[in-house]
């Protein structure tokens, strides 16, 4: 049993590493070749007269692309259950494994609907890649994790050790923003350690070499489960989206990740409408039956090595709210603006213009 838990944690560490690496923004240079407290707000997108697919030819294949972990669940559900058969003869699901593969998928037309961090979508668009944002579905994945039951804010760990992975990543910039809103100096008011990747941060925390860590799902859940039998188990002190609302007078949210549409199907509003309808329904299914959703990952994506109980617990720790891009835009622009104040490159240097947001 112990070895099985360790294997599961190792798989989650790898998943988390690729998500946070992606959230740093894609690397420069040539494009590589790609290899083949949960919110339950889900609103079905409306279909317009222009979105009827009855008279349009079916596509031979639709390629869905997702990161490993909980964000792959809706796309896996669509694929396994053939929910896009109305507009495509075949649906294929691919998993991106690092930021360069994600960029190659977008630039090379190797995916039609791709789930990714919202800042990556902005970076790609600002660099001239052909995509449009369809929706935002994930509004928080990041937590402060600690052993101290009295910790409820960054002020509560002033002077204590804190580990953050990947300096300049979105979780790091969010940490800096939140700490500054509490009147703290991130560089001076903590015994702050930056490490090269999330697995290092989690191992330092589990080993007791640091007191606190900024971690995202599914890793935040994995380390809490790993420590549950220890004398002082780890706990999630607070979610970053809750802290963000407090820091911004309660009227701002953190649109973390969503799905984009790329060039090949961008001009097919009938296909996009069916995808959006079925994606929203898949989110609803996942949130209504998280145990089945976790099992879907273990059964249908065995190559990831992720066990159903960890995935079920992790997806419950993510704030899910389906919002079409047009509705999410005000929140995105607020979020992007705050990120730019500390690290403009994290969204590609400027706010995306109107062309970034898909309009049916």
Residues written for the chain: 360
Report the Cα–Cα distance between both ends of the chain, in Å, rounded: 51
The CATH number assigned to the domain with range 142-247 reads: 3.40.190.10
**Cis ω on the peptide bond leading into residue 285 (within 30° of 0)?**
no
Averaged pLDDT, 143-149: 98
Quickly list H helices, 35-112: 73-80, 99-107
Residues 74-109 have pLDDT tens digits of: 999 999 999 999 999 999 999 997 888 898 999 998
For residues 12 and 222, the answer to whether their CB atoms sit within 8 Å is yes
Do 142-247 and 59-139+256-356 fall under one CATH topology? yes
Q: Which of 108, 110, 103 is nearest to 29 (CA)?
A: 103
Please state, in angstroms and rounded to a whole number, the distance separating the CA atoms of residues 276 and 293. Answer: 19
Please state, in angstroms and rounded to a whole number, the distance separating the CA atoms of residues 143 and 45. Answer: 30
The CATH number assigned to the domain with range 59-139+256-356 reads: 3.40.190.10
Q: 236 pairs with which residues across the strands?
A: 145
| pLDDT for the residue numbered 5 | 35
| pLDDT for the residue numbered 188 | 98
Cα–chain center distance at 167:
18
For residues 53 and 200, the answer to whether their CB atoms sit within 8 Å is no
Give domain limits for the chain. 59-139+256-356, 142-247
Q: 336 pairs with which residues across the strands?
A: none
DSSP 8-state code for residue 209: S
| pLDDT for the residue numbered 12 | 52
Lowest mean pLDDT among 27-36, 272-281, 310-319, 330-339: 27-36
Q: 227 pairs with which residues across the strands?
A: none
For residues 262 and 112, the answer to whether their CB atoms sit within 8 Å is yes
Averaged pLDDT, 10-27: 53
Q: What is the pTM of this model?
A: 0.86
Query: Band of the pLDDT at 251, cuts 50, 70, 90?
Result: confident
Cα–Cα distances in Å, from 127 out to 118, 121, 335, 345?
Answer: 14, 10, 19, 11
Residues 218-244 have pLDDT tens digits of: 899 999 999 999 999 999 999 999 999
Q: 195 pairs with which residues across the strands?
A: 165
Instruction: Spell out the residues 6+ positions from residue 351 whose beta carbon is closer than 8 angstroms to its own.
Output: 122, 333, 336, 337, 340
- pLDDT score of 303 more than 90: no
| pLDDT for the residue numbered 4 | 37
| pLDDT for the residue numbered 45 | 53
Instruction: Give me the sign of the Cα torsion angle 46, 107, 70, 87.
Output: positive
């Amino acid at each position: 049993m112990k070895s099985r838990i360790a294997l599961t944690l190792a798989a989650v560490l790898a998943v988390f590493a690729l998500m946070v690496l992606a959230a740093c923004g894609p690397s420069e240079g040539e494009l590589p070749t790609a290899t083949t407290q949960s919110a339950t707000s889900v609103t079905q997108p409306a279909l317009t007269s222009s979105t009827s697919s009855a008279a349009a030819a079916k596509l031979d294949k639709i390629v869905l692309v997702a990161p490993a972990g909980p964000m792959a669940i809706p796309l896996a559900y669509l694929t396994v259950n053939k929910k896009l058969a109305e507009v495509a003869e075949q649906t294929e699901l691919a998993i991106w494994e690092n930021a360069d593969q994600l960029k190659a998928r977008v630039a090379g037309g190797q995916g039609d609907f791709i789930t990714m961090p919202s800042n990556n979508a902005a970076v790609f668009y600002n660099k001239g890649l052909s995509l449009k944002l369809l929706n935002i579905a994930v509004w928080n994945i990041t937590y402060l994790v600690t052993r101290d039951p009295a910790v409820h804010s960054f002020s509560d760990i002033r002077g204590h050790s804190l580990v953050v992975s990947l300096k300049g990543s979105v979780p790091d910039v969010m940490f800096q923003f939140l700490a500054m809103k509490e009147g703290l100096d991130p560089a001076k008011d903590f015994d702050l350690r930056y490490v090269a990747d999330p697995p290092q941060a989690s191992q330092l925390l589990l080993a007791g070499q640091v007191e606190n860590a900024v971690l995202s799902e599914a890793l935040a859940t994995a380390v809490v489960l790993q420590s549950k039998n220890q004398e002082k188990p780890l706990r999630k002190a607070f979610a970053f989206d809750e802290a963000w609302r407090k820091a911004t007078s309660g009227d701002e949210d953190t649109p973390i990740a969503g799905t984009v549409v790329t060039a090949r199907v961008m001009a097919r509003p009938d296909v996009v409408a069916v995808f959006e309808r079925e994606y929203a329904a898949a989110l609803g299914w996942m949130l209504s039956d998280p145990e089945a959703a976790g099992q879907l990952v273990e059964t249908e994506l065995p190559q990831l090595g992720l066990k159903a109980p960890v995935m079920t617990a992790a997806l419950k720790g993510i704030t899910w709210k389906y919002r079409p891009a047009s509705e999410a835009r005000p929140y995105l622009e607020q979020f992007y603006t705050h990120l730019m104040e500390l690290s403009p490159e994290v969204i590609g240097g400027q706010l995306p213009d109107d062309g970034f947001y898909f309009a049916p």
